[in-house]
Amino acid sequence: MTDKYILSLDLGTTGNRAILFDHQGNVVGQVYQELTQHYPQPGWLEHDAVEIWQGTSSCIQQVITDNQVAPTEIAAIGLTVQRETCLLWDKVTGEPLHKAIVWQDRRTANLCDRLRAEGKAETIEQKTGLVLDAYFSATKLAWLIDWVKQNLPDTDWERVMAGTVDTWALWNLTGKQVHATDVSNASRTMLMNLDTGDWDDSLLELFKIPRQIMPEIKPSMEVFGTSDRAQLGAEIPIAAIFGDQQAALFAHGCDRPGLLKCTYGTGCFLVAQTGIEVTRSNNRLLSTVAWSTKSQTNYALEGAIFTTGASIQWLRDGLKLITDAAETESLCNKVKDTNGVYFVPALSGLGAPHWDMKARGAFLGITGGVQREHMVRSVLEAIAYQVKEVVDAVNKDSDNPVSLLKVDGGAAKNNFLMQFQADALGVPLERPVVLDATAQGAAFGAGLAVGFWDDYQKLVGDRQVDRVFEPGAGQSQAQENFAMWSKAVTRAKDWIE
C-alpha cells in the first residue's frame, strides 16, 4: 500500500480542524483554526461561509506541510461538520448570498410558532423524526430565501445552491463540481423524509424551498467526488460525510442498539444507536439517521442540548470571567459548591427535553457572598445537569437503563466536569485518549469506504481509554441540587415575549 494517511476534516461550530490519521489509526498531526462567531442581534448567530472554507483550506495545507506529507499519500478524505447550519450561494461566482445561519440561531422561532398554531407540528415530526424548532435548517433556509428575494431581487434562482456546511465544503473541495450531502446531515434539515431518505416534496412546498437548489442526498460512506488537483495537489476521494454527532457515534463503535455516547462541545449531544429501524421517542428525543452505506441505513435517538461548551466560551468572551476554557477546572475545584447559585444555560433557548425557543439564560440564587468561582462552577454544574435530564429521558424510553456513558469532545477534557457528571448521573463515564471522536469517526468512515481499512471492529477496539470516572463522594449533593436546578430552569422558561 502506497497510501499512508486519511485526512479528516472536522468543521465544528467554534472552529475548523484538519487531522491526519495513519494506518494504525493514530493521529499524526492536526491543525485547528477558531471560527468567528457573529451575533447581529440577541438570539441570532451567523458564520461567514467564506471564512469556513478558507480556514478549512489553510488547515489542510498546513497539516500537510507541517507533517511533510505528499497529497498523493492521502488515501481518502472524511468530512464531518456542525449540523443544521445552512447557507445559499451563487454557483457561478461561488459567493455566499448571505452569512450562514448557525444551528443555535433563534430568528425563526416565530415562524415555528406560526406553523405550530396552524397544526403542522405533528406532520413535520412524523415525517422527519424531529421536533418543530428553529434549530433545524428548514426555517433558516426559508428565512434566507425570503431575505434574498427582498434584498437581491435580481437573483437568478437557477444559479442558487443551498446546503449545510458539508455541502458547502464538498462543493469547494471538489472544485465546484459536486453538490451533495449525506443522509445523516440531511436528516437534520427538517426537509428529509426519514422513511424515504429523500427530500419530502410537501415539506419543500411548506417552506417554499425550490427542489432544484437542494443538494443530492447520498449514503454517508461512499465516494462523493475527488478533491480538486489545482487546490490540493492530488485527486483524493472524499469518501465519507457525517454530521458531527453521528461521526462521534461511529468512532465510539456504537453500532448496535443499546450503545450510546455523549459529546461535550459547543452543545452536548447524547446519541443512542437504535439499529436499522426508525425508533420513536415518547420523551421528546429526536429520531435521526446515524449513518448509511449503499446497502444499509442505521438510525439513532438523540438528545440535543444547545448550550454547554458555548456557555464556557461566553464566560471567556462575553463576561470575561475567565481567560481560557481550561481554567474553569481549577476555579471549580477551589470551592466546595456553588454557594447556592444555579445557572440556566438557555443562551439559545432550550433543546431536549424542553424544546423551549423562548427560554433565556439566567443565574438564580445569588447572594452577597457569591464569588467568581461559584458562578463558574454553577455554569459547569449546569452542563452536567442538562445531560442528566437527557439521560433520564433515554431511560424512560428504554427498558435498559444507561449504565455507562462514553464521552468525547473539547469540554470532556475537564476533569471536574466529568467527575461531577458521573456523580450527578450515578453511572461511570468512559473517556477515550483521542477526544476528537468526531474527526476520528469521519476518518474511520472514509478509510473503510476506500479499503484503507477493512475491519471496523478492530479500529474501534484499538481505541484507548484514558480514564473512567466512577460516581464518588459528591453523588448525594449533586443529585440533591438537581432539584433546585430544575426549579431554576422552570423560572427561565418561556421568558421572551
**Closest to ligand ADP by CB, 103 or 452:** 103
| Listed ranges 89-97, 298-306, 322-330, 399-407: which one lies at the site for ligand ADP (CB under 6 A) | 322-330
Q: Whole-angstrom Cα distance, residue 199 to residue 195?
A: 10
Asked whether 112 and 134 are in contact (CB, 8 A), the reply is: yes
Cell of 255: 453500532
**Closest to ligand ADP by CB, 345 or 409:** 409
In the complex, the smallest distance separating the C-beta of residue 188 from ligand ADP, rounded to whole angstroms, is 14
Kindly state the number of chain residues that form the binding site for ligand ADP, as judged by CB under 6 A. Answer: 18
| Listed ranges 7-15, 41-49, 215-223, 447-455: which one lies at the site for ligand ADP (CB under 6 A) | 7-15
In the complex, the smallest distance separating the C-beta of residue 59 from ligand ADP, rounded to whole angstroms, is 13
In the complex, the smallest distance separating the C-beta of residue 13 from ligand ADP, rounded to whole angstroms, is 4
Contacts for 158 with CB less than 8 Å, ≥ 6 apart = 212
Binders of ligand ADP among 234-273, rule CB under 6 A?
Answer: 265-266
Q: Whole-angstrom Cα distance, residue 299 to residue 278?
A: 6
Q: Which position among 5, 8, 12, 344 is part of the footprint of ligand ADP (CB under 6 A)?
A: 12
Phi, psi of 387 (to 5 degrees): -65, -35
In the complex, the smallest distance separating the C-beta of residue 32 from ligand ADP, rounded to whole angstroms, is 8
Asked whether 363 and 343 are in contact (CB, 8 A), the reply is: yes
**Closest to ligand ADP by CB, 29 or 237:** 29
**Closest to ligand ADP by CB, 111 or 439:** 439
**Closest to ligand ADP by CB, 71 or 409:** 409
Cα-trace Rg, the chain: 22
Binders of ligand ADP among 323-382, rule CB under 6 A?
Answer: 325-326, 328
**Closest to ligand ADP by CB, 181 or 313:** 313
In the complex, the smallest distance separating the C-beta of residue 90 from ligand ADP, rounded to whole angstroms, is 28
Binders of ligand ADP among 195-234, rule CB under 6 A?
Answer: none
**Closest to ligand ADP by CB, 8 or 313:** 313
Q: Beta strands 268-275 and 297-305: pairing type?
A: antiparallel
Residue 13 binds ligand ADP (CB under 6 A): yes
Residue 27 binds ligand ADP (CB under 6 A): no
Q: Whole-angstrom Cα distance, residue 92 to residue 229?
A: 20
**Closest to ligand ADP by CB, 115 or 411:** 411
By Cβ distance, which residue is nearest to ligand ADP?
Answer: 410
Asked whether 194 and 127 are in contact (CB, 8 A), the reply is: yes
Residue 319 binds ligand ADP (CB under 6 A): no
Q: Whole-angstrom Cα distance, residue 181 to residue 82?
A: 13
**Closest to ligand ADP by CB, 47 or 360:** 47
**Closest to ligand ADP by CB, 52 or 312:** 312
**Closest to ligand ADP by CB, 200 or 408:** 408
**Closest to ligand ADP by CB, 289 or 435:** 435
Helix (H, G, I), strand (E, B) or coil at 143: helix
Q: What interhelical angle do 109-117 and 137-151 show, nearest 10?
A: 110
108: closest CA among 168, 41, 171, 49? Answer: 41
Distance of CA 386 to the CA centre of its chain: 16
Q: Whole-angstrom Cα distance, residue 139 to residue 121?
A: 13
In the complex, the smallest distance separating the C-beta of residue 308 from ligand ADP, rounded to whole angstroms, is 7
Q: Which position among 164, 313, 338, 386 is part of the footprint of ligand ADP (CB under 6 A)?
A: 313
Asked whether 224 and 450 are in contact (CB, 8 A), the reply is: no
**Closest to ligand ADP by CB, 121 or 325:** 325
Query: DSSP alpha helices (H): ranges in 296-362?
Result: 309-317, 327-333
Residue 310 binds ligand ADP (CB under 6 A): yes
Asked whether 361 and 346 are in contact (CB, 8 A), the reply is: yes
Q: Beta strands 180-182 and 216-218: pairing type?
A: parallel
Cell of 2: 502506497
273: closest CA among 256, 293, 292, 297? Answer: 256
In the complex, the smallest distance separating the C-beta of residue 430 from ligand ADP, rounded to whole angstroms, is 17
In the complex, the smallest distance separating the C-beta of residue 189 from ligand ADP, rounded to whole angstroms, is 19
Asked whether 287 and 280 are in contact (CB, 8 A), the reply is: yes
Q: Whole-angstrom Cα distance, residue 444 to residue 78?
A: 8
| Listed ranges 13-21, 86-94, 282-290, 337-345: which one lies at the site for ligand ADP (CB under 6 A) | 13-21
Cis peptide before 353 (omega within 30 of 0): yes
Contacts for 2 with CB less than 8 Å, ≥ 6 apart = 72, 73
| Listed ranges 8-16, 63-71, 189-197, 288-296: which one lies at the site for ligand ADP (CB under 6 A) | 8-16
Binders of ligand ADP among 380-439, rule CB under 6 A?
Answer: 409-411, 413-414
Helix (H, G, I), strand (E, B) or coil at 367: coil
In the complex, the smallest distance separating the C-beta of residue 281 from ligand ADP, rounded to whole angstroms, is 23
Q: Which position among 25, 225, 303, 309 is part of the footprint of ligand ADP (CB under 6 A)?
A: 309
- The contact set with ligand ADP (CB under 6 A) reads 12-15, 265-266, 309-310, 312-313, 325-326, 328, 409-411, 413-414
